[in-house]
Structure 1
């Protein structure tokens, strides 16, 4: 920056850091999820998963957790979802709760179904399962064969089934504001590198490094996707998105980031297993949005010496701050 200033160039580079935390699930309120699963006489394994996937990968992660608990390959699980007639209530897709809450319900359902199978042949917990056409082979020191066609089917056609519910252990706040509003918290730290054109007021993010404690990354690729999407949203909030009645009432004038606005994002996955999460996993959603805008504003401050306290940091706002026209 000193060299650029000496040479008369208006572009300054800055680095900003911000941290954040977020509770997973509803605040001090019951928010259970229920998951159902069954095995048909033909050996088909079916997961009734009602958690709505809005792009975050809940269908994949919840199926992975169930398959792990049951002890079968994930590609052997047939998923039924998005139909309130045939799937139990898995709660709303909000509050970064689906991996945590519905994932736990899926884990419990898979474990319950596994216990039924092992009980049929008095096999140990560590026994391996191989579910094939019309049979289950349970292997420990000796193989046990369960002929599924000899078991009575229920009204839905399942010879073995389980339905389990999980509700996070929270406590309402007392009159002094003390309690346990969340059973689980996620933590994050973001570093942003920006270039600020002091003549034009434009801010161009150059790089993001985002570290997130996710407990256990059930699916690392989906974790990275969540981080990238959250940073895109946070960047829009910090630099672009401004509602002006009568002016920015459509997506032509109300600016949101495109792929061309997002800089390279390096995701650092921190895995500190959570006591309540399925296999130690935590939710990851809103967590990413929280430190993104503060990291960008800190980077602007580092680049040009001016602190902005309101978003978005549009070119006009940055220019006004550089001229000392914005109130603290």
Structure 2
């Protein structure tokens, strides 16, 4: 992540009147799986099942500003903030329930829809705890903050911080030397994701990034004054999707929520170089310009032996 987004992110968590949990954040899910990840992070922190957690996401009338969703920030920044909010809510619940159960907060845990103590007969429903909050005049909604500003003050913050992800990709291509058409047949992508909070979503993120990289490599080119629409700015279609094998390498991050690292743009970057290297081996000469359109590939083929 760079200077484009705030290093301070805020989310909220609430105990509803009926005893379920509500998380408020601004991390719009437009296919990358943030709804599932934020719900999962909150449930894991609270120690309850995911069906006990309701997510209110990107409703500007209800949710705080959780910063931009770009630069692989959502899971790292918003996820850490959601985890903080869920933990703060759990501690607030235990503080109220401890008085009702005559127990120490440290002896309490959440189980399904109840707060349970160290003894089997020491438990109370979360709906009853919610009523006690209201009777005491205490808010059932708490704030969670994740803030890296102290570590990276504005005047000394570098363009990019050391919180990086790494990956490697390999491609297999088929080239028609008469037309210059390149087809990506197979692509393997191995990426260090820290810890995959939701593995299917993580794999989907990497597959989507690979397809963006395929477009960069083979077809997407904006020419000012010429490119006016998607008839001359060519995005890869579903038919261009290669066989994609994703390998999730998990080396937990010290700072990420439960060890997670950001998984977004990272898998885009190695795709075009992998395809370019495969093409170079196939035709025996390098193409020096992206995208590697058929005319450019044909020109490279014709230059062999010069």
Look up the match of 1:160.
140
1:203 aligns with 2:182: yes
- Provide the secondary structure at the position in 2 that maps to 1:153: helix
Question: Which of 192, 211, 216 is the matching residue for 1:213?
Answer: 192
Question: Which of 52, 55, 60 is the matching residue for 1:84?
Answer: 60
Question: Which of 247, 267, 276 is the matching residue for 1:268?
Answer: 247
Look up the match of 2:79.
103
Look up the match of 1:55.
31
Gaps of 5+ in 2: none
Which structure carries more relative contact order (alpha carbon 8 Å, separation 6+)? 1
Q: Considering only aligned residues, what root-mean-square deviation do their CA atoms show, in Å?
A: 2.6
Normalised to the residue count of structure 2, the TM-score between the two structures is 0.88
1:171 aligns with 2:152: yes
Does the Cα contact within 8 Å between 2:172 and 2:187 map onto a contact in 1?
Answer: yes
Gaps of 5+ in 1: 1-24
Quote the offset at 1:52 in angstroms: 1.8
Change in 2 beyond 3 A, CA 1:291/1:140: farther
The separation in 2 between residues aligned to 1:82 and 1:29, in whole angstroms, is: 17
The separation in 1 between residues aligned to 2:138 and 2:222, in whole angstroms, is: 53
Quote the offset at 1:152 in angstroms: 3.4
Quote the offset at 1:173 in angstroms: 8.8
Spell out the pairing of 1:1-328 with structure 2 (5 A cutoff): 25-27=1-3, 30-119=6-95, 120-121=97-98, 122-123=103-104, 127-132=108-113, 136-142=114-120, 143-145=122-124, 147-148=128-129, 150-153=131-134, 160-168=140-148, 170-171=151-152, 181-182=160-161, 184-324=163-303
Aligned residues: 295
The separation in 1 between residues aligned to 2:130 and 2:236, in whole angstroms, is: 56
- Provide the secondary structure at the position in 1 that maps to 2:115: strand
The separation in 1 between residues aligned to 2:207 and 2:272, in whole angstroms, is: 14
Quote the offset at 1:28 in angstroms: 9.0
The separation in 2 between residues aligned to 1:116 and 1:245, in whole angstroms, is: 57
Quote the offset at 1:54 in angstroms: 2.4
Look up the match of 1:21.
none
Superposed CA offset, 1:234-278 (max 9, x none): 100100112234443111222110110011100000000001000
Does the Cα contact within 8 Å between 1:28 and 1:171 map onto a contact in 2?
Answer: no
Does the Cα contact within 8 Å between 2:189 and 2:245 map onto a contact in 1?
Answer: yes
The separation in 1 between residues aligned to 2:248 and 2:207, in whole angstroms, is: 13
Does the Cα contact within 8 Å between 1:70 and 1:110 map onto a contact in 2?
Answer: yes
Quote the offset at 1:118 in angstroms: 2.6
The separation in 1 between residues aligned to 2:280 and 2:300, in whole angstroms, is: 10
Does the Cα contact within 8 Å between 1:27 and 1:182 map onto a contact in 2?
Answer: no
The separation in 1 between residues aligned to 2:65 and 2:42, in whole angstroms, is: 16
Superposed CA offset, 1:141-194 (max 9, x none): 43322522541339xx9853320111236436988xx95942521111011010
- Provide the secondary structure at the position in 2 that maps to 1:205: strand
Does the Cα contact within 8 Å between 1:40 and 1:158 map onto a contact in 2?
Answer: no
Does the Cα contact within 8 Å between 1:151 and 1:159 map onto a contact in 2?
Answer: no
Does the Cα contact within 8 Å between 1:172 and 1:179 map onto a contact in 2?
Answer: no
The separation in 1 between residues aligned to 2:130 and 2:46, in whole angstroms, is: 20
Change in 2 beyond 3 A, CA 1:149/1:196: closer
- Provide the secondary structure at the position in 2 that maps to 1:297: helix
